[in-house]
Amino acid sequence: MGEEAAAPAGPAAASESPAPHAPAPMTDIHDILPPVPVGIDAPWLVPVLLALAAAAILAAAWWWWKKRRKARAIETLVPELPPEMTAMQALKEIADVRRLDGKTFYFRLSAILRQYVFGRFAVGAPEMTTEEFLPCIDRLPVDSDLARGLRSLCRAMDPVKFGGETVVEKQMETDLFFAREFVQKTTLADEAENKGEQHIVLPPDDGNSKKQIPNRK
C-alpha cells in the first residue's frame, strides 16, 4: 500500500516543472540619433566682425590722411630754391670734368642750362629740340654776347651728345665757365631790372676773371 499511495505523485510532479524561458528583449540596438550641430551658434558674431573690419578701414584711412597732410605741410615749409642757386649747385657737381666723359658731361650741362632758362625766363627749353630752342634764344632778354655764346654752345653740344664726337677736357672746362657766367650775368641783370637800377656785371667767383666767353665758329 505504500507503493500505491506514492504512485499518484508522479504526474503532479511532472506538471510542476518550470516552463521554457521566453526570449529576452533586445536592448543593444537603437535608432540613429539626429545630427548634432557643430561650431559656435552666435548670431551676434557676424555684426561684430563687420564692425571690426569697418573700424580697421577707417583707422587706415585716417592714418594715410594724416601722413599725407604732414608730408604736404613739410613741402610748404621748404621754399623752392631760385633758379640760379639750383643751376650753380648742379654745375658744381660736374665741375671735375676729368671724372666725366664728354657725352655725359654735355648731356648734363645742356639739361642744367635749359632748366635754368625755364626757371629764369619761363621758356619751355627742357622739352624743346635744339632747332626749336635756338630761335627762342634770340628772344631772351639777355646780352647779345651771352645769346651768341649760348647758341654756339647748343650747336656744339649735339654732335658730342648724339654723334659720339670726342672733346678735350680743356673745351669742357671752357664751356663750364661760360655756363657759370651765363647764369651769373643773367641773374644780376634780372635783379637790376627788378630794382630799376643799372646793373654791373661782376666777374665769376672762381678767381679767374680774365677768361672770356668762348667764341665758337
Per-residue pLDDT in tens (0 to 9) along the chain, 217 residues: 444 444 455 554 544 555 556 566 666 666 676 766 665 666 777 787 888 888 889 888 888 887 777 666 655 555 688 999 999 999 999 999 999 999 999 999 999 999 999 999 999 999 999 999 999 999 999 999 999 999 999 999 999 999 989 999 999 999 999 999 999 999 988 777 777 644 444 444 454 444 444 455 4
- Residue 108's φ and ψ, nearest 5 degrees, are -70, -40
Name the pTM for this structure.
0.56
Helix (H), strand (E), coil (C) string for 40-87: CCCCCHHHHHHHHHHHHHHHHHHHHHHHHHHHHHHHHHCCCCCHHHHH
